Amino acid sequence: MENFAEKHVIHINDTHPALLVPEMMRILLDEEHMTWDEAWTIAKQTFAYTNHTILAEALEKWPINILQPLLPRVYQLIEEIDRRFVEKMNLEGQSFDLINDLRIINHNEIRMAHLCIISSFSVNGVAELHTNILKNIEMKDFNALYPNKFVNITNGITHRRWLLHSNPELTNFLTDKIGEEFKKDPKQLEKLMDFIDQKKTQKAFMKIKKIKKEALAKRIYDEQGIHINSDSIFDIQVKRLHEYKRQLMNALHIMHVYNQLKSSESFKNNYEPHTFIFGAKAAGSYYFAKKIIKLINTIANKVNNDPETNDYLKVIFVENYNVSYAEMIMPACDVSEQISTASKEASGTGNMKFMMNGALTLGTLDGANVEIKELVGDDSIFIFGLDADEVNTLNANQRYNPRTLYETDSTINGLLKQLVNGFFDQVDREEFREIYENLVNQDNYYVLKDFHAYAKACDAVNEAYKDSSKWAKMALENIAKSGKFSSDRSINDYSKRIWKVEKLS
């Protein structure tokens, strides 16, 4: 075991496997009979850590009174790692407050992310923005303590699955245009840029998109009995249900569109028919997320059954969304909803899957959306809302008061009142009281703050879709620029920059 670190890297993939560290120390100390210094040197040279999110629930803090009786030896070793870290910090003359902020055990809790950072030779974020937030805000003190430990490896997904397997029609189209090389080297998709202005190419792409939309529409009808117009804009948000991902803002905007369709003939005449598709699952104990799912389905029930509007607006919450279903959804998408509160989405990978299938991103400057925008430029993406710096400033000064918006903005006031005034006559009028109270009194994820910017961006999408040639060009550019997000590139980055391993071929 003495040269274990020369032959192996153990990668801690997010904070959840943090107990790898004390367990390895246990093996080296108790079974291999090494000294502490020998074991600790090997451990520190073996572990690398990827942080996937700054959300508190993912950073994991475990009460001592749960972990200690369950894993007494493991806890003892965590305690010793912490004691030695504190001792070293004291010898370096670090302040009491800094030591308390960074140590592993504090306030009767074990801070698993701190254990991972202290024990690893490398820490990485998963998108440029995310890594910068780790280095400059969330883990600023650790970054100062361990210069050069923090690196960025932007996430990737495999074109083999999310393009070649999921969308054979588009794959054949691309092969005819640019040859076979992109199948092994997705960066070769850049060659498509030579064709994006050709009307023939644009029409061929839109025909493929229509085929994929028809296939999804058929599945939805077969499984849920809902007719949808395959010529409508397929505006899709499929991802884990969480408040920061702001499915709620999407839902409120659909209510806003419905209200305008009901009240304004000129709006109706200018509105491209939309099909809003949601897919999501909520964590078992996440009550508020489940309440949002209930709201989306209640909205769907109302608007889908209104004969005045259902030619213009349909809402679908697909049943049992999973990876196999995603393989049908991604190729059929026109608009990819990536509307998380800026700074909260570490990277996202759905945005990449949609992009490579020719969907246009409607999103905030969050996660990998920032890098998508850098690749395709301002004209082939729809960006809106607060950026990460603005969100962090609002969080720091704590001056945002959503009630002021509620009381002074007639559109927001009207929408939120519809949550509790009997507008949804098929459910109890108090069904969505918690959502109403949360938005008026807290709005931790700036749904109301970003609402009008989001609505304006949605209007821009509506106008852009009227020009099918321009839309196709934008979509093709997204496909052409998607090679950066290949998982092959991502794994290659890990290999070169963290693991220090060579390709076999």
Q: What is the pLDDT of residues 47-90, one digit of tens each?
A: 999 999 999 888 999 999 999 999 999 999 999 999 999 999 99
pTM (two decimals)? 0.96
| pLDDT value, residue 82 | 98
> Residue 492: helix, strand or coil by DSSP?
helix
Q: From residue 435, give the alpha-carbon distance in Å to each of 75, 85, 183.
A: 41, 44, 46
Pair of tokens at residue 60: 């994991």
52 is catalytic: yes
349 is catalytic: yes
| pLDDT value, residue 107 | 96
Please state the φ and ψ torsions of residue 441, each to the nearest 5 degrees. -105, -20
Asked if 261 and 253 touch (Cβ cutoff 8 Å), the reply is no
Active-site pick, 135, 239, 253, 302: 239
By C-alpha distance, which of 86, 91, 89 is closest to 144? 89
| pLDDT value, residue 471 | 98
By C-alpha distance, which of 227, 209, 210 is closest to 218? 227
By C-alpha distance, which of 240, 245, 246 is closest to 279? 240
| pLDDT value, residue 27 | 98
Which DSSP state fits 271?
Answer: P
Say what angle helices 451-465 and 247-263 make with each other, to 10 degrees: 60
Tens digit of pLDDT for each residue in 397-419? 999 999 999 999 999 999 999 99
**83: CB partners within 8 A, 6+ apart:** none
Distance CA 420, CA 2 (A): 66
119 — pLDDT class (breaks 50, 70, 90): very high
Pair of tokens at residue 47: 């572990």
Active-site pick, 245, 302, 344, 473: 245
Active-site pick, 11, 41, 44, 52: 52
Residue ranges with strand state E in 179-338: 233-238, 274-279, 313-317, 335-338
Average pLDDT over the chain, rounded to whole? 97
Distance CA 447, CA 66 (A): 36
Q: Does domain 159-384+447-485 bear CATH number 3.40.30.10?
A: no
Active-site pick, 159, 302, 353, 484: 353
Active-site pick, 41, 171, 175, 349: 349
Tens digit of pLDDT for each residue in 158-202? 999 999 999 999 999 999 999 999 999 999 999 999 999 999 999
By C-alpha distance, which of 329, 423, 333, 337 is closest to 382? 337
Q: From residue 248, give the alpha-carbon distance in Å to each of 211, 282, 356, 390, 450.
A: 30, 13, 26, 21, 12
By C-alpha distance, which of 240, 257, 335 is closest to 292? 240
Tens digit of pLDDT for each residue in 316-337? 999 999 999 999 999 999 999 9
503 — pLDDT class (breaks 50, 70, 90): confident
Say what angle helices 72-91 and 36-46 make with each other, to 10 degrees: 90
Provide mean pLDDT across the span 209-238.
98
Tens digit of pLDDT for each residue in 429-469? 999 999 999 999 999 999 999 999 999 999 999 999 999 99
The residues with which 338 forms a beta bridge, in sequence order, are 363
> Residue 279: helix, strand or coil by DSSP?
strand
504 — pLDDT class (breaks 50, 70, 90): confident
CATH 3.40.50.2000 residue ranges for the chain: 159-384+447-485
Residue with tokens 């249900």: 241
Pair of tokens at residue 19: 């107990």
191 is catalytic: no
| pLDDT value, residue 474 | 98
175 is catalytic: no
**162: CB partners within 8 A, 6+ apart:** 327, 330, 352, 353, 356, 357
Distance CA 104, CA 39 (A): 19
**In the Cβ-directed half-sphere of 455, how many Cα atoms lie within 13 Å?**
17
8 is catalytic: no
- Which amino acid, 142? F
Active-site pick, 61, 183, 240, 489: 240
Provide mean pLDDT across the span 19-24.
98
Burial of 265 (0-12, 13-18, 19+ CB in 10 A): exposed
| pLDDT value, residue 58 | 86
242 is catalytic: no
Q: From residue 353, give the alpha-carbon distance in Å to each of 47, 333, 399.
A: 30, 10, 37
Burial of 470 (0-12, 13-18, 19+ CB in 10 A): middle
pLDDT over 80 at 505, yes or no: no
